[in-house]
Amino acid sequence: MPFRIKINADVWSPLSAEEKSKVTEILKNTSLIEEGDEIVGDASVAVQAQGFLDNLNPGKKFCKIACDVAASAAAAACTAGTSGVALAACLAAAEVAREACRDAC
């Protein structure tokens, strides 16, 4: 089932189509999201914090670690491949995708 990654609209909406595509490709290339998943701006979503270090549930530890590793790779790719508002959107999308991934474990 495709994920719908919702990030703060004020972060996502100002991006050009090219920037949105780049952010989406970064998350796909790091396996954080898959083909068919989409990133959308949503006014009801708060700006995401960078909380990559959650407590791990021992029963799902390796799945959640894999999500964290993919999110870290996405964050690194975001930093290397985007800047300004696109960087903020890319990092926010990576964090939301990481949370969705971990929730699916």
Residue 52 carries which side chain, given as an amino acid letter? F
Query: How many CA atoms lie less than 13 Å away from 3 in the CB half-sphere?
Result: 23
User: In whole angstroms, how far apart are CA 81 and each of 67, 87, 88, 90, 96?
Assistant: 20, 8, 12, 10, 19
Cα separation, 102 vs 73, whole angstroms: 15
Reading the chain (105 residues) residue by residue, the pLDDT tens digits are 788 888 888 889 999 999 999 999 998 998 888 999 999 999 898 765 434 334 444 557 778 888 999 999 999 999 998 999 999 999 999 999 999 999 888
Give CA–CA dist 64/2, Å, rounded. 19
| pTM over 0.85, yes/no | no
